Amino acid sequence: MAAKPTGIKWIDSGLTINKNNPDDRVIALAGNPNVGKSTVFNALTGMNQHTGNWPGKTVTNAQGKCSFDGTNYIMVDIPGTYSLMAHSAEEEVARDFICFGNPDAVIVVCDATCLERNMNLVLQTIEITDHVVVCINLMDEAKKKHIHIDFGSLQKDLGVPVVGVTARSGKKLGKLMETVGSLKTENFINPIRLKYTAPIEEAISIVEPAVKACLGDKLNARWAALKLIDCDESLLKSMSDYLGFNLAEEESIALKIRKARQFLKENGLSGEVLRDQIVSCLIITAEGICADAVSFESSTYNERDRKIDRILTSKWSGYPLMILLLMLIFYITITGANYPSSLLSDILFRFQDILLVFFKQIGAPEWVTGMLVMGIYRVLAWVVSVMLPPMAIFFPLFTLLEDLGYLPRIAFNLDKYFKKAHTCGKQALTMCMGFGCNACGVAGCRIIDSPRERLIAIITNSFVPCNGRFPTLIAIITMFFVGTVSAPFQSFFSTCLLTGTIILGIFMTFAISKFLSVTILKGIPSSFTLELPPYRRPQIGKVIVRSICDRTLFVLGRAVAVAAPAGLIIWLMANIHVGGISLLLRCSTFLDPFAHLLGLDGVILLAFILGFPANEIVVPIIIMAYMSTGSIMEFSSLEELKTLLLNNGWTWMTAVCTMLFSLMHWPCSTTCLTIRKETQSWKWTAVSFAVPTVTGMVICFLFASFVRLLGLI
Amino acid sequence: MNEISTLNSLSVGQTATVKKLSSTGSMRRRLQDIGLIEGTQVECLQKSPSGDPIAYLIRGAVIALRQEDSRNVMISAN
């Protein structure tokens, strides 16, 4: 279809394992998407891989260390995949690691509530390696749904150890590692040997001896023989890379392959029919194993999920509930952030006074005080007080929704519009990730298989505001648009405006996706399957702690690291005079005419430019810049801040245009670098930079011109 | 009734048995990966608010498919 023209390449399939000493054992964690591999990984390694209830969070291999019974293990969390006959980038990463990464053991993590579907991957893994431990996760969920699993029967049928765990609470993980440890010494393992139909078995037996003679113990000869006969091209390419030579081109083997294919052809098995039969054998075996081992106490074990789905995705309530949920989150964020925000600014600016007194006492020169306190400290104080509270509230809330399993339902609800835009419905998932962080959203685009659709998702990701831009929007809305409304409704009104802004962002995502689909990235939508996982009760405490500690503080740290030099630059620019005029004034005067066209002013545009490394610092820079040009004033509330902005010529139009531009402008530097990494192309990075920027400028220009023409201000 | 129809024509609440996949290439394998082969039981669970895609229960998992894709799955209603 549209596979080639974009020239997207992937670099992440290679992974270097850093062993501390040669006795360290490498353990791969494989499994279907969304079975809790990352949770198992985190529980074992004490690390904080991002988790959430939707398929496709983990898109690259992550590694961590753990030790058990005196042995050190290197755990590798690989992306979820349904099968090892890969079709997409992240599935290829998973397959290549299991097949050619030489792990000492593979733990296949399964979902206890959906064992049959998971068994396909278990069987395919066992085909490749004997060192498999099956870890059945989510035993607590299975218990709740009255699903019984007969471990003895499973273990007997599969011939490899099977351990049931509840990774969320860490239950039985010790037993899992104990079993992994015993793999080396115990010989009770006698993995199931998959039986294919007679002609396929015959064909394998033609090729297998030649492969065995050539490979020795490097790879499982039976498996390699089957893949050679089946001609799984992407796998064979990885195999050649691993071996350093092309197995299919070895003369002795090539001859046998031809013979085997000829034989299969005579039996009516070639191409698609052959592959169908291979897959059917796997699935029917899986079905048989699970029929022996799994029993359901009631046939309506997931009735509750169906009920919730009928409400959340119904024709009448699907969309309204989606908007209401969004509004609820914003409402909590806005109301919740008010108080801590003013408290923080109170404390931080009181400390500024102390600092000033201190610097005076030690007799520091004025320019040192100015640079350190009025420059660096003050912009940091603004970043922390204005930006931290909304981020610290929004992010955990969003994570809760993610853990609950609502994101795939958003994708389900919105898919029709993505289809109309000729893109993949999974783009809804990456778009939602963008609310947290656009760089994460861009990396998440790997779950989209078609390179064309993936590029569109990458380019349009920054149309939804990230966590760093929300506070900017909230601050402006609070200052300019709700002042006239009486107090009890203020937060509600802000919420509506913010929701409207976000919906505009989502609408722009559709519009620009469609535009790209009919211009530079032409193509028709490709096929995909979207899994709607069972709803899971989020671990509220853990989510809050994790998202504040790992994410919010991380993002804040980055913002602070950028804000400090930015504050310094602003202060220097305001205080270095060239020809009697400060540099700041010169720069903003230079930008002014253009910014004026967009309904902004030079300072705002300059702030967006300086905010390239982190969007969080845009508002603080605007404030700094205005304060340094005019008489210094003290601010303790958004109300006084509004006065400052009004004094500098802001109108409601300036506010709207600033919001629009904040919603639609270049992605931050981290996102740009991620785009470069993901697309392996500066050209597409430039496109991703230009598309939202040009869109934002055009829209701001149109809006400002419209308002001016009508004389509304 | 044992008429052959396509998966997208199944109404909510109905179950059916898969008779044949007419999709090709990667979609065919993707469907096979999630266990959709000849003889698999499917149940139509829920249409999205706009009617497309539609969610099906396939081997214990809920999978949403677009009409274009479900049209290529031949079924006989149970």
Identify the residue with better confidence: A205 or A342. A205
Number of domains in chain B: 1
Residue A543 predicted with pLDDT over 90: no
- Per-residue pLDDT for A107 more than 90? yes
pLDDT of residue A574 exceeding 50, the answer is yes
Whether chain B has a CB inside 8 Å of the CB on A54: the answer is: no
Interatomic CA distance for residues A125 and A223, integer angstroms: 10
**Average pLDDT of the segment spanning A561-586:** 86
Q: What is the CATH number of the domain that holds B24?
A: 2.30.30.90
Question: Rounded to whole angstroms, how far apart are CA atoms A465 and A468?
Answer: 8
Looking at residue A16, its pLDDT comes to 63
Please report the pLDDT score of residue A613 as a whole number. Answer: 84
Mean pLDDT confidence for A556-566: 82
Could you tell me what percent of chain A has a pLDDT over 70? 91
Contact A510, A485 (CB under 8 A): no
Quickly state the pLDDT bin for A489 (edges 50, 70, 90): confident
- Selected residue with higher pLDDT from A592 and A21: A592
Mean pLDDT over A259-272 rounds to 90
In angstroms, what separates the C-alpha of B58 from chain A's closest C-alpha?
Answer: 9
Per domain, the residue ranges of chain A are 25-182, 198-269, 318-523+540-709
- What's the rounded mean pLDDT across residues A136-143? 92
- Checking if the pLDDT of A670 tops 90, the result is no
Strongest mean pLDDT among A628-642, A694-708, B32-46: A694-708
A77's enclosing H/E stretch is strand A71-77
Predicted confidence (pLDDT) at residue A4 exceeds the cutoff of 50: no
Answer with the residue of higher pLDDT: A684 or A337: A684
Exposure b/e, A220-239, CB count within 10 A at least 16 = b: bbbbbbbbbbbebeebbebb
Q: What is the pLDDT of residues A154-193, one digit of tens each?
A: 999 999 999 999 988 888 899 999 999 888 765 556 888 8
Q: What is the mean pLDDT of residues A83-112?
A: 84
Best residue of A524, A532, A535 to probe chain B, by most B CBs closer than 10 Å: A532
Q: Per-residue b/e over A544-567, b at no fewer than 16 CB within 10 Å?
A: bebbbeebbeebbebbbebbbebb
Asked if B32's CB is within 8 angstroms of A529's CB, the reply is no
Question: Would the CB atoms of A527 and B27 count as touching at under 8 Å?
Answer: yes
- pLDDT tens sequence across A401-439: 888 999 999 999 999 999 999 999 899 999 998 988 898
Distance CA A204, CA A228 (A): 9
The mean predicted confidence, pLDDT, of chain A is: 86
pLDDT tens string A474-483? 888 888 887 6
The per-residue pLDDT for range A301-317, each reduced to its tens digit, is: 788 888 999 999 988 89
Which residues on chain B are in Cβ contact (under 8 Å) with A529?
Answer: 30-31, 34, 63-65, 69
Structurally, at CATH architecture level, domain A25-182 sits in 3-Layer(aba) Sandwich (3.40)
User: Which one of B18, B20, B32, B33 would you mutate to disrupt binding with A, by most A Cβ within 10 Å of its Cβ?
Assistant: B33
Lowest mean pLDDT among A187-196, A288-297, A522-531: A187-196
Predicted complex ipTM: 0.95
* pLDDT of A59: 63
Please report, as a single letter, which amino acid is at residue B51.
G
Distance separating alpha carbons of residues A484 and A652, to the nearest angstrom:
13
A58 with A108: CB under 8 angstroms? no
pLDDT at residue A57 in the model = 65
- The residues that bridge with B58 in the sheet, in sequence order, are B42, B61
Distance, CA of A133 to CA of A9 (rounded, Å): 33
A607 and A618 Cβ atoms separated by less than 8 Å = yes
**Nearest residue, CB atoms, B34 vs list A82, A415, A534:** A82
Please, which pLDDT band fits residue A510 given cuts at 50, 70 and 90?
A: very high
Residues of the domain holding B52:
4-77
Residue A187: partners with Cβ closer than 8 Å, 6 or more residues away? none
Looking at residue A6, its pLDDT comes to 30
pLDDT bracket for residue A37 (50, 70, 90): confident
> Residue B61 and residue A313: Cβ atoms within 8 Å?
no
